[in-house]
């Protein structure tokens, strides 16, 4: 790939000028297609080592059984851009709550860095099976089950959540069918150290 050269821009020595972004980084084009090289910000954060994921599959037994996960955002300027997807073998009701509380945090789950060469550690804290004393504000709910059709908070479902600072989010699953069936849970996010020009402050 080559740096982008403005076709009508020359410096005093007659050499062509290179276009750069606002950080002084040169813009580039593909050698073969001459298209400008652009990647999504989330993809960029993966390469920077600021993108993380958690994947879990659990067998859940008995109608009415509850399964909880909770996530606590840092009390810093770091913004958490979160996505989630849930799939189940039988009928489950699913809810995401904001601002809930727990009497016991549960087992901490460590998010894995998508860039396996990065030493960065997620600031978002995640927990499996907390003891929930107050669910909090129900901000999203859905149903999933037989047929394996996934649901969640992700672009394919029309959602992304930019999480609030220093806040607990609780994911609640209620099994509605008798017997033992699996629930598959995907959660992924990237961490942004400062608000972008498109976000409120």
Domain-located, residue 61: yes
Q: What is the per-residue pLDDT for 52?
A: 94
Q: What is the pLDDT of residue 171?
A: 96
Domain membership flag for residue 57: yes
Burial class (CB in 10 A: 0-12, 13-18, 19+), 149: exposed
CB 182 within 8 A of CB 59: yes
**pLDDT attached to residue 10:** 45
Tally of CA atoms within 13 A in the half-sphere of 58 that contains its CB? 17
Q: Is residue 198 part of a domain?
A: no
150 φ/ψ angles, rounded to the nearest 5 degrees:
-75, 160
Contacts of 23 (CB under 8 A, 6+ apart): none
Question: Is 121 domain-assigned?
Answer: yes
What is the C-alpha to C-alpha distance for residues 72 and 98, in angstroms, rounded to an integer?
A: 10
Q: Are residues 27 and 62 in the same domain?
A: no
Report the pLDDT value the prediction gives residue 167, as an integer from 0 to 100. 97
Within this chain, do residues 103 and 7 fall inside the same structural domain, yes or no? no
Residues 33 and 56 in one domain: no
Does residue 47 fall inside a structural domain? no
Residues 1, 28 within the same domain: yes
User: pLDDT value at position 3?
Assistant: 46
pLDDT for the residue 40: 63
List the pLDDT tens digit at each of the 201 positions of the chain.
Answer: 444 444 444 445 555 566 676 667 777 776 777 666 565 666 667 667 788 999 999 999 999 999 999 999 999 999 999 999 999 999 999 999 999 999 999 999 999 999 999 999 999 999 999 999 999 999 999 998 877 688 888 777 777 788 999 999 999 999 999 999 999 999 999 898 865 545 544
Residue 33 forms part of a structural domain: yes
Instruction: Name the residue with tokens 């220093």.
Output: 166
Q: For residue 110, tell me if it sits in a domain.
A: yes
CB 133 within 8 A of CB 78: no
The enclosing domain of 143 has a CATH number of: 2.60.120
Is residue 28 located within the same domain as residue 113?
no
What does the pLDDT look like over 135-191, one tens digit per residue? 999 999 999 887 768 888 877 777 778 899 999 999 999 999 999 999 999 999 989
pLDDT at 8: 43
pLDDT score recorded for residue 4: 46
74 with 129, same domain: the answer is: yes
Structural domain total, the chain: 2
In angstroms, the CA 132 to CA 194 distance is 31
In a domain, 43, yes or no: no
My answer on whether 21 and 77 are in the same domain is no
Residue 185 belongs to domain spanning: 52-192
* CB 132, CB 96: distance < 8 Å: no
Q: Are residues 8 and 89 in the same domain?
A: no
């Amino acid at each position: 790939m080559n740096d982008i050269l403005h076709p009508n821009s020359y410096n005093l020595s007659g050499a062509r000028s290179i276009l750069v972004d606002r950080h002084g980084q040169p813009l580039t084009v593909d050698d073969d297609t001459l298209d400008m090289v652009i990647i999504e910000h989330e993809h960029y954060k993966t390469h920077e080592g600021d993108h993380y994921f958690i994947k879990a599959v659990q067998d859940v037994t008995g109608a009415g059984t509850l399964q909880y996960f909770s996530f606590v955002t840092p009390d810093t300027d770091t913004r958490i851009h979160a996505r989630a997807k849930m799939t189940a073998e039988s009928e489950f009701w699913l809810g995401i709550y904001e601002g809930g509380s727990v009497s016991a945090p549960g087992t901490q789950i460590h998010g894995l860095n998508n860039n396996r060469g990065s030493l960065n550690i997620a600031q978002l804290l995640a927990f499996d099976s907390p003891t929930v004393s107050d669910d909090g504000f129900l901000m999203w709910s859905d149903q999933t089950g037989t047929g394996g059709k996934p649901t969640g908070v992700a672009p394919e479902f029309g959602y992304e959540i930019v999480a609030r600072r220093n806040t607990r989010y609780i994911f609640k699953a209620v099994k509605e069918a008798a017997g033992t069936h699996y629930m598959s849970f995907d959660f992924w996010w990237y961490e942004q150290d400062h608000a972008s020009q498109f976000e409120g402050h």
